[in-house]
Structure 1
């Protein structure tokens, strides 16, 4: 460890002081460089990294060239679904991750100027791809996969209604509504997929469209029935030890119930319980981050990379972090995770499209349903960018997270099972 710190101090930290921000991301860096350096400004690092990840999707969609330029790479074990589902995957997942950031008000900072342009591109892209005869029209009718990524698009609009829904052309809105309704003819699988149907209907409800009540309720009811305790829902009747509680279950459960509460369809106690369960799960996620800024590559869909931290990121965005977890420690931990993951050679191709893999490029680690568009679940760990720059999450000094304190022999909070 000391040797690594010494080498990092000699070879990189001094150089970082005069690099331009975009140069931080160029480069076939030493794989371990992230372990020995720290960005001077975490927020700048986050938004530039998010822009790097999301820009190929958003800018190509705005230009009508998404299908033309996006690599269509599938897992070596890809199943019988059409590979073209990858385009809606890329759009829905990317937009759900960038939505809170784009929802911030305009300002004249470097970030604000970039964010405004990016938001305009995002809106233009949606208008373009839902236009008749668009070369980038998205598939909502073939296969079952569109159930998933329509849900992330619906979650996008719930997270940023003023920034990404209201500015759309009337004909775009109508096309989206009809596309979402079209999915009612497809029944989700009896697992986390039920929540995809629920949140899509919740979005329609939020804009005054009568929902399919069975579809709206089935997801939140069945997942509640499958709750296993201590912050973990079953993915179906059985527990799955993977990150689907973060990729899907907690965020979509809470966001769906928030709409239902706003429309007086449930009691507040039900929403509060779901939020407490997400907070408990977030406690575990924070403790999974090692002192070195790594986390366990467990379960399915690890190619979704930092999407594994969506639940923790969302409670931070909501300013609902569990007691004993400070915003700065979450920021500091996730910053190092992002460095370790996204600065590893092979993560991006030469045009900055994400490549199949976990830490770097490894197509063999991809599951049978994984293709290029699937990977953009990674953006879901960037939700705290929806907090303004002067929020404590960004402005407080760097702080050690739980595992970092524990393995340094420092005091850290004890952890106990909860019964709710």
Structure 2
């Protein structure tokens, strides 16, 4: 009896303590939630500082002719770094360019952000000249291996996204050299999947600068990607469907940019472009719903080491101001900010010199695919495209808004999902 009383008393004390502890934790959690609320301009400052940190090692080293010298080449366990040396530097450059292009296209101003943009843009223009100069220590490889087809495509996408900032200021010799490197890609072919789109946009870029494009590569890309559409905003990556983020990494954004050139050059009906854009908008709705209330998202499929590139399609739809009426720009801003804070504040994704490391949340080299090396990781910049919207755009100025999953898990009204037939 005495034992029972003592045990019961201890249990009562434990229950009280646990209740107090849980209440305290809950109170602290609620307090911390209030402290992390930010304005859109604070979000923008965070985004711009993070993108500057991510892109700086690539861009400044390239400008100084030191990219090959200073960029580490981290590869999956068991792989030999030497086998990646021919391609990883162009990967880093092309992918970084595609991510920063809309931001660097904004006009100069005297703000801290404006100075960062100008610094990066000035260095990148110098770096592009080095990348195609055969006498530069950072002359990049467009001429051998299949992989350069991919990363030239991201460079092409950057030029298409920011022609006045990144293409027109180049001197005539550099422009000629860039065109010749792109033409040299025609000696090789790649995989029978999204790689067709890489070849297509490389030719579309050449067309956009007045060069003769290869019509076969353009037509194959158009027809095969269309054949691989599965419905409700999803394409398969080749004949067989894979559930991963390649609709965001590549297919939707690059297809829409590819089609835009073809429409401008009267090589495609505007109705086909409009349909591709509608499909990307639909896919972007899924992307927004993938983001959990705490900013996490599912780590599934190939290439998850590309991190925030998983939201390129959503980011591009926001940049184009084509979000559906029921998805507010501010909720996309808040959702993507939550992802960035969760991924880059709570995971150490950079080494001591500021280079990205293999992994998803921190250093996790064992999850890297066999084709992945340090340069591949700069796909992560593609999630930052809305920085191309000026600071006075409603994406940045509207009050913070909960995103779909946050509404759903907090008993708030949210839009019932649906399907589309186009």
TM-score by length of 2: 0.91
Provide structure 2 residue ranges, at least 5 long, that are not aligned to the other structure. Answer: 1-21
Query: Which sits farther off after the overlay, 78-87 or 148-157?
Result: 78-87
> Which one of 138, 141, 147 corresponds to residue 139 of structure 1?
141
Inter-partner Cα distance in structure 1 for 2:29 and 2:126? 43
The residue aligned with 1:367 is 369
Deviation digits for residues 193-215 of structure 1 (CA, Å, limit 9, x no counterpart): 10000111111111111100011
Partner-residue secondary structure (3-state), 2:260: helix
The residue aligned with 2:262 is 260
The residue aligned with 1:222 is 224
Equivalence map 1:245-394=2 (5 Å): 245-394=247-396
Partner-residue secondary structure (3-state), 1:152: helix
Deviation digits for residues 53-82 of structure 1 (CA, Å, limit 9, x no counterpart): 000101111111111111111112548954
Inter-partner Cα distance in structure 2 for 1:368 and 1:221? 29
Whether the 8 Å contact between 1:78 and 1:369 is mirrored in structure 2 is no
Inter-partner Cα distance in structure 2 for 1:222 and 1:81? 31
Inter-partner Cα distance in structure 1 for 2:123 and 2:136? 16
The 1:127/1:4 distance shift into structure 2, 3 A limit, reads farther
Partner-residue secondary structure (3-state), 2:61: helix
Whether the 8 Å contact between 2:73 and 2:84 is mirrored in structure 1 is no
Pair 1:116-2:118 in alignment? yes
Equivalence map 1:24-39=2 (5 Å): 37-39=36-38
The residue aligned with 1:19 is none
The residue aligned with 2:173 is 171
Deviation digits for residues 321-343 of structure 1 (CA, Å, limit 9, x no counterpart): 12310000000000010011011
Partner-residue secondary structure (3-state), 2:230: strand
The 1:266/1:96 distance shift into structure 2, 3 A limit, reads same
Q: What displacement does 1:229 show?
A: 0.4
The 1:326/1:5 distance shift into structure 2, 3 A limit, reads farther
The residue aligned with 1:44 is 45
Inter-partner Cα distance in structure 1 for 2:408 and 2:353? 40
Q: What displacement does 1:121 show?
A: 0.7
Inter-partner Cα distance in structure 2 for 1:240 and 1:347? 27
- After the TM superposition, which segments of 4 or more aligned residues of structure 1 sit over 2 Å from their partners? 1-14, 37-40, 77-84
Q: What displacement does 1:129 show?
A: 2.4
Partner-residue secondary structure (3-state), 2:321: coil
TM-score by length of 1: 0.91
The 1:354/1:2 distance shift into structure 2, 3 A limit, reads farther
Q: What displacement does 1:7 show?
A: 4.5
Partner-residue secondary structure (3-state), 2:224: helix
Provide structure 1 residue ranges, at least 5 long, that are not aligned to the other structure. Answer: 15-36
The 1:4/1:377 distance shift into structure 2, 3 A limit, reads farther
The 1:344/1:84 distance shift into structure 2, 3 A limit, reads farther
Deviation digits for residues 290-326 of structure 1 (CA, Å, limit 9, x no counterpart): 0111100010000000000000000000000123100
The 1:5/1:317 distance shift into structure 2, 3 A limit, reads farther
The 1:38/1:371 distance shift into structure 2, 3 A limit, reads farther
The 1:263/1:407 distance shift into structure 2, 3 A limit, reads same
The residue aligned with 2:411 is 409
Q: What displacement does 1:119 show?
A: 0.7
The 1:378/1:38 distance shift into structure 2, 3 A limit, reads farther
Deviation digits for residues 201-234 of structure 1 (CA, Å, limit 9, x no counterpart): 1111111111000111211210101100000001
Partner-residue secondary structure (3-state), 1:158: helix
The 1:78/1:333 distance shift into structure 2, 3 A limit, reads same
Report which of the two structures shows the higher radius of gyration computed on alpha carbons.
2
The 1:2/1:380 distance shift into structure 2, 3 A limit, reads farther
Whether the 8 Å contact between 1:83 and 1:371 is mirrored in structure 2 is no
Deviation digits for residues 160-204 of structure 1 (CA, Å, limit 9, x no counterpart): 001001111211111111111111111121101100001111111
Q: What displacement does 1:142 show?
A: 2.1
Partner-residue secondary structure (3-state), 1:157: helix
The residue aligned with 1:68 is 69
After superposition, the CA RMSD in angstroms is 1.8
Q: What displacement does 1:8 show?
A: 6.1
Partner-residue secondary structure (3-state), 1:198: helix
The residue aligned with 2:89 is 87
Q: What displacement does 1:11 show?
A: 8.1
Inter-partner Cα distance in structure 2 for 1:196 and 1:364? 28
Query: Which sits farther off after the overlay, 187-196 or 371-380?
Result: 187-196
Whether the 8 Å contact between 2:38 and 2:400 is mirrored in structure 1 is no
Inter-partner Cα distance in structure 1 for 2:173 and 2:107? 26
